[in-house]
C-alpha cells in the first residue's frame, strides 16, 4: 500500500502542472518585481544596476508617492469603515429569524459583488457625472442648487472613487460575516436571553467577540484593498484630476506602461507588496489570542 501511494511518476505528473503554472505566472513574476526594482530598465535594453536609487527617489523625492500613499490609506479607510459597519449590521439582521424577507435582503446586499468592475464604474460614473449625472439631475429636479463635480474635484475625487468600491464590495464582507455568525451556536444566544440580555447586548458581547477571526480577515482585505486600489481609478478618473487620485499601483502602471520606466515602476510595486505584508502581520498581531485580550472577549465568555 505504501509503495502504491509513493508512485514517483504519479506524484510528478500530478504536481507538475500546478507548480509550473504557479512558478511561471506568480512566483517568478514576484521575484522579478523585487529584482528589477534595483535596476534602471526600459524593458528592451540591458538593465543597469542602480542599487537603492529607485527606492530613494520614490520614497523621498517623488511628490506623487506621498499623494499616492495617502490616497491608498484614504481609500482603505473609506472602504473599511463603510463595509465593516454596514456589513456587520446587515449580517446580524439577516441572521435574525425574526426579520422578514431575509432571503431578499441577502441577495440584494450581495448582488453588486457579481457585477464587473467596469459595469459598476460606468453606472456610478453616470450617477456622479457633473453635467448630466443622475445625482445632480435629482438635485436639480428637487430644486436644490447643489451640484458637485465629484470626480473632477481634487478634494472629493478619491473619496468618490473609494465609495464606488465600498458600494460594490460591501456584500462580500457581508457574506463573510453571515457565514461567521452561522458558525456561532444558537445556545449562546439562548443563554443570553435567559440571562435577560437584550439582543443588542447579546450581539455586542457574543457575536462581535466570537467573530474575531472574521473581522481580522475583513480588515485585511479592506485595508490592503485600499493600498492596491487601481481598477476604479483607472476607469473613472485616470489618476486625475492632475495626480489627485494616484495610488501605488497607478504609479507602477503609469511608469511601466506609459513611460517605459520599468525599474522605477516595479519599485512602486515592491513597496506595495511590502506594505501589504506589514499590514497582514500587524493585523495578525493585533488579533492574536492573548492573556489580556484587546477586545471584550472574556466578557462574552462570562455572559455565555
Partner 1 sequence: MSKKGSGPRKYTGVSSLIFTVFLWAYAIFSLYPMLWMILYSFKDNTEIFQTNPFGLPKVWRFENYVNAWNQYDVPLYFKNSVVVGAGTVILTIICAMMFTFAVTRLHWKGRDTARTFISTGQFIPVQAILLPVVQTVSALHIMDTYWSLILPYAAINLAFSCMVYYGFFKGIPKEMEEAACIDGASIWQTFFQIIMPLVGPATMTIAIYVFLSAWNEFLLANVLVGTTANLKTLPLGVLFFQGQFTTDWGSMGATMVIASLPAIVVYCLFSEQVEGAMTTSGAVKG
- Of residues 17-36, those binding partner 1 (CB under 8 A): 17-19, 21-22, 24-30, 32-33
Residue 107 near partner 1 by CB under 8 A: yes
Residue from the set 52, 99, 282, 286 that interacts with partner 1 by CB under 8 A: 99
Which of 4, 60, 146, 285 touches partner 1 by CB under 8 A? 4
Query: Following CA atoms 75, 219, 167, 94 in sequence, which dihedral angle do they give, to the nearest 10 degrees?
Result: -160
Angle at 234 between CA 124 and CA 268, to 5 degrees: 140
Closest alpha carbon to 247 in 61, 66, 30, 52? 66
Residue range at the interface with partner 1 (CB under 8 A); choices 55-63, 71-79, 155-163, 219-227: 219-227
Task: Check: CB of residue 262 under 8 Å from CB of residue 29.
Answer: no
In the range 161-180, which residues lie near partner 1 by CB under 8 A? 167, 170-172, 175-176, 178-179
Q: Which of 181, 221, 212 is nearest to 289 (CA)?
A: 212
In the complex, minimum distance from the CB of residue 154 to partner 1, in angstroms, rounded to a whole number: 24
- Smallest distance, partner 1 to C-beta of residue 107, A: 7
| Chosen residue from 50, 55, 59, 105 binding partner 1 by CB under 8 A | 105
Which one among 47, 50, 59, 123 touches partner 1, defined by CB under 8 A? 123
The DSSP string of 19-35 is HHHHIIIIIHHHHHHHH
109 binds partner 1 (CB under 8 A): yes
Is residue 65 within 8 A of residue 59, CB to CB? The reply is: yes
Count of other CB atoms within 10 angstroms of residue 119: 11
What is each CA distance from 265 to 33, 55, 107, 269, in whole angstroms? 9, 10, 40, 7
Query: If we measure between CA atoms, which residue out of 291, 88, 109 comes closest to residue 207?
Result: 88
Q: Rounded to the nearest whole angstrom, what is the least distance from the CB of residue 28 to partner 1 in the complex? A: 7
Total number of residues that touch partner 1 (CB under 8 A): 97
**Residues within window 276-295 making contact with partner 1, judged by CB under 8 A:** 276-277, 280
Nearer to partner 1, 6 or 154 (CB): 6
Which residue number, 108 or 154, has a Cβ lying nearer to partner 1? 108
The answer to whether 257 contacts partner 1 (rule: CB under 8 A) is: yes
Amino acid at each position: 500500500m505504501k509503495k502504491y501511494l509513493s508512485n514517483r511518476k504519479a506524484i510528478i505528473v500530478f504536481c507538475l502542472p500546478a507548480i509550473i503554472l504557479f512558478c511561471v505566472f506568480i512566483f517568478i513574476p514576484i521575484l522579478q518585481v523585487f529584482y528589477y526594482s534595483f535596476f534602471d530598465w526600459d524593458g528592451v535594453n540591458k538593465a543597469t544596476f542602480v542599487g537603492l536609487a529607485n527606492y530613494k527617489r520614490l520614497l523621498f523625492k517623488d511628490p506623487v508617492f506621498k499623494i499616492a500613499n495617502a490616497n491608498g490609506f484614504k481609500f482603505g479607510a473609506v472602504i473599511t469603515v463603510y463595509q465593516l459597519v454596514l456589513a456587520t449590521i446587515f449580517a446580524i439582521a439577516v441572521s435574525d429569524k425574526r426579520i422578514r424577507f431575509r432571503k431578499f435582503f441577502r441577495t440584494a446586499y450581495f448582488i453588486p459583488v457579481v457585477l464587473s468592475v467596469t459595469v459598476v464604474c460606468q453606472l456610478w460614473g453616470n450617477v456622479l457625472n457633473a453635467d448630466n449625472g443622475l445625482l445632480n439631475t435629482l438635485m436639480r429636479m428637487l430644486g436644490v442648487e447643489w451640484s458637485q463635480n465629484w470626480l473632477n474635484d481634487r478634494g472629493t475625487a478619491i473619496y468618490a472613487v473609494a465609495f464606488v468600491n465600498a458600494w460594490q464590495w460591501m456584500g462580500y464582507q457581508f457574506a463573510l460575516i453571515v457565514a461567521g455568525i452561522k458558525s456561532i451556536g444558537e445556545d449562546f444566544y439562548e443563554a443570553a436571553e435567559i440571562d435577560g440580555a437584550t439582543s443588542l447586548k447579546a450581539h455586542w458581547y457574543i457575536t462581535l467577540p466570537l467573530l474575531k477571526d472574521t473581522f481580522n480577515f475583513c480588515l485585511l482585505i479592506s485595508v490592503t484593498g485600499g493600498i492596491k486600489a487601481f481598477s476604479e481609478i483607472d476607469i473613472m478618473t485616470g489618476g486625475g484630476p492632475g495626480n489627485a487620485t494616484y495610488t501605488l499601483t497607478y504609479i507602477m502602471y503609469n511608469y511601466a506602461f506609459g513611460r517605459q520606466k520599468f525599474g522605477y515602476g516595479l519599485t512602486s510595486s515592491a513597496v506595495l507588496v511590502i506594505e501589504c505584508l506589514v499590514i497582514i502581520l500587524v493585523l495578525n498581531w493585533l488579533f492574536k489570542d492573548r492573556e489580556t485580550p484587546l477586545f471584550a472577549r472574556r466578557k462574552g465568555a462570562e455572559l455565555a
